[in-house]
Amino acid sequence: MPIRKLLLPLTGTAAGEAALTTSLMIARRFNAHVTALHVRVDSRDVAPLAGEGLSGAMIEEMMSATEKESGERAHAVRSMFERFVARQEVVVSEAHAGSEQATASFASVTGREEDIVAQQARLADLTVVPHPDAGEDVSSSDALHAVLFDSGRPVLISPQVAPKSIGSRVCLAWNGTAESAASALAALPWMQQAEAVRILSAEGYQRRGPGAPDLAAYLALHGVKADVTIFRPVGSSVGAGLLAAAMEFGCDLLSMGAYSHSRLRQLILGGVTRHVLEYSNLPVMMTR
């Protein structure tokens, strides 16, 4: 299925403009629509603190301060969006059938970001998530995990610096799991347009399921010619080996399944998903 609608949650982070650039590159490739979504914090969320010994006046003051800060951030994010689309000469309109160019729109709503983003992502072909600011733990991104665990749709983590290209040389991480099978399906529109496609597999990465040659034969039925490379871990890290193999190929889009093991286990012990989230500097599309 072609990519026709992208969802871009914007929180006002420094990486927001890089994610806008990445989203526009994708939209122009597929003549798609980008919905930039900003979720404002609901000042009523501070009310439960009243049960912790704070007076009604203090709660009211906190709610007022939260409302003011939320409004200022929403204004800043919208201004960033408007400056960007004007500079890039993007048509601002609502999504509509039959569009032959990239378009964009902006929406601001109030509520819990992880809930609203996950719900809106269910009717988007791809959600692009800005990379967290330096120093933040990318593996704890609320928007990222909301899409992965509660939307049934793929998510693309934009690098901190917008890429020069995206989707011309595609790598597909394969380990035979249901998650990697979903990532192969999500990447199909990209692979059908790519200059080159490579399947990356490793003995320490493979689980019970079809092997990389089986995937290559399946992709050939869809008109995709893909070669297979067996990569080795770097040190003891399969994730580092995967990224090294992608870089060697000149990859500008890595598609992979996320959290074949439980999220808790990966957060505590590490894992391929966690390593890629923390150390990748290229666009990564994850599916679960």
Residue in the block written with tokens 């526009």: 24
The domain spans of the chain are 5-44+72-157, 169-287
- 70: which 2 tokens? 């939320």
* Answer CATH for 169-287 from 3.10.129.10, 3.40.50.280, 1.50.10.10, 3.40.50.620: 3.40.50.620
Run of H or E including 247: helix 238-249
Q: How far apart are CA 279 and CA 263, in angstroms?
A: 18
Nearest in space to 227 (alpha carbons), one of 169, 288, 154, 165: 169
Q: How far apart are CA 72 and CA 191, in angstroms?
A: 41
Nearest in space to 78 (alpha carbons), one of 34, 32, 37, 18: 37
Domains 5-44+72-157 and 169-287 share a fold: yes
Q: In the prediction, which pLDDT does 134 show?
A: 45
Q: In the prediction, which pLDDT does 271 show?
A: 77
Nearest in space to 1 (alpha carbons), one of 257, 265, 188: 188
Q: How far apart are CA 48 and CA 61, in angstroms?
A: 14
pLDDT in tens, the chain (288 residues): 789 999 999 987 667 889 999 999 999 999 999 999 999 887 666 665 555 566 667 667 777 776 777 788 888 999 999 999 999 999 999 877 777 899 999 999 998 888 999 999 999 999 999 886 545 555 457 788 888 889 999 999 999 899 999 999 999 999 999 999 999 999 999 999 999 999 999 987 878 889 999 999 999 999 999 999 999 999 888 999 999 999 999 999 999 998 755 554 444 334 788 888 888 999 999 998
**Counting every residue, how long is the chain?**
288
C-alpha 260 chain-centroid distance: 17
Q: Could you give the 3-state DSSP secondary structure of residue 149? A: helix
Half-sphere exposure of 222 (CA within 13 A, CB side): 17
- 25: which 2 tokens? 């590159």
* Answer CATH for 5-44+72-157 from 3.90.1150.10, 3.40.50.620, 3.50.50.60, 2.70.150.10: 3.40.50.620
Q: What angle do CA 67, 71, 73 make, to 5 degrees?
A: 120
| 224 and 188 Cβ atoms separated by less than 8 Å | yes
DSSP summary character for residue 164:
S
| 155 and 126 Cβ atoms separated by less than 8 Å | yes
Residue in the block written with tokens 């793929």: 154
Q: In the prediction, which pLDDT does 48 show?
A: 59
